[in-house]
Amino acid sequence: MSAQPGFWVVSRHEDILTVYRDTERFTSSRGNVLTTLLAGGDSAAGRMLPVMDGHRHRELRQIVLRALSPRMLENTATNVREEVRRLLVQAIEKGECDFAADIASRIPVGTVADLLGVPESDRDFLLTMTKASLSSDVQDADEQDAVNARNEILLYFGELLEERRRSPGADVISVLARGEIDGVTLSDEEVILNCYSLVIGGNETSRLTMIDAVRTLSLHPSQWRLLRSGGVEPARAAEELLRWASPTMHFGRTCTADTELHGMPIAEGEIVTLWHSSANRDESVFHDPDTLSLDRSPNKHLAFGYGPHFCLGAHLARMEIRELLCALISHVGEIEVTETPLRIHSNFLTGMSRLIVQFTPPPLRTGEVPDFC
């Protein structure tokens, strides 16, 4: 059995920015996560946004951005606000809930499903497959289970695309189906792969940050009181909670020519991994990085990456986390985690799959919230 190739670990904030900026010397077109890079490359390379660079990447990104612009998402924000408050009220009435399953898992996947035009009846299936594709709730899970989950998502979007080809709408799938680059319509494979990318990317960062945020606020009561009292705006608090959680631990690149980074020679073809979980605690960028400061400013975290591959769904994720914080401010007085959380198993993502929480209503009348909510 041949040994797997080694890889470089880039941990400093400044060095990671250098790599992200330079898509000529550090390409994502051969894969962007450690698992696929070590396996020899990504089968979707050159057809899916996260694993392509150059002209085609820029053109395809513009197509998707038009469908995910802040103006296009105005109605989505209202829907998220209503849904997160409905689910939170239900959890308070129950007395105790699994925040991960009952709330955090419902909001991001529901939002992305709305944008993609996924029927309500298919969303539990999509959530299950999405979670299984990148992580597991158990240690030593069979990698084939993740492969099967990814294939199920691709097959599902293939069927949905056929429907949109026959009867297009205003959803993102229809936008992609009509998309053209240099006068040529996107292929079925390109549409399907980028739907897969959107549902994965649009779910994981938001979901895992939401779960981590609730646990973090329960462990930092002074910061929770600061947020509840209006001492910090939810939008700013959301940025610190994204930095704190850093749910996407790393991304990867392949070096295209012999080069040097921070004094170290890197050879053509070698794998370079960029560790957000380290950069977001870099003391040269963040004062007292191991202290939660919801009013931290500036906050140049890398939870959404940086440069040409900056997360397309960043605006959406920020909006979802902000609406969660506003709902907590409005409806919750105390947060208590009543059982030891269960963590996911992944070398790409970090977070919790189960978080049993008891929310206590505030002593003041529900609805008395700061103006910014």
Rounded CA-CA distance 361/327 in Å is 12
Angle at 218 between CA 108 and CA 281, to 5 degrees: 75
- The token pair at 70 is 């802040």
* Helix, strand or coil, per DSSP, at residue 250: strand
Q: Which of 7, 8, 1 is nearest to 262 (CA)?
A: 8
Q: Which of 261, 258, 247, 249 is nearest to 19 (CA)?
A: 261
pLDDT, position 303: 97
Rounded CA-CA distance 263/372 in Å is 47
- Chain-centroid distance of CA 338 in Å reads 26
Classify domain 22-360 by CATH architecture. Orthogonal Bundle (1.10)
Q: What is the secondary structure of 144-172 as a DSSP string? A: HHHHHHHHHHHHHHHHHHHHHHHS--SSH
pTM: 0.92
Tens-place pLDDT, residues 303-350: 999 999 999 999 999 999 999 999 999 999 999 999 999 999 899 999
CB atoms closer than 10 angstroms to residue 348: 19
pLDDT, position 250: 97
DSSP letter for 95, please. S
In the predicted model, residues of the chain with pLDDT beneath 50 are 1, 366
Rounded CA-CA distance 10/19 in Å is 9
Name residues whose C-beta falls within 8 Å of residue 338's C-beta, 6 or more positions apart in sequence: 96, 356, 357, 358
Torsion of CA 146, 209, 244, 233, to 10 degrees: 160
pLDDT, position 75: 83
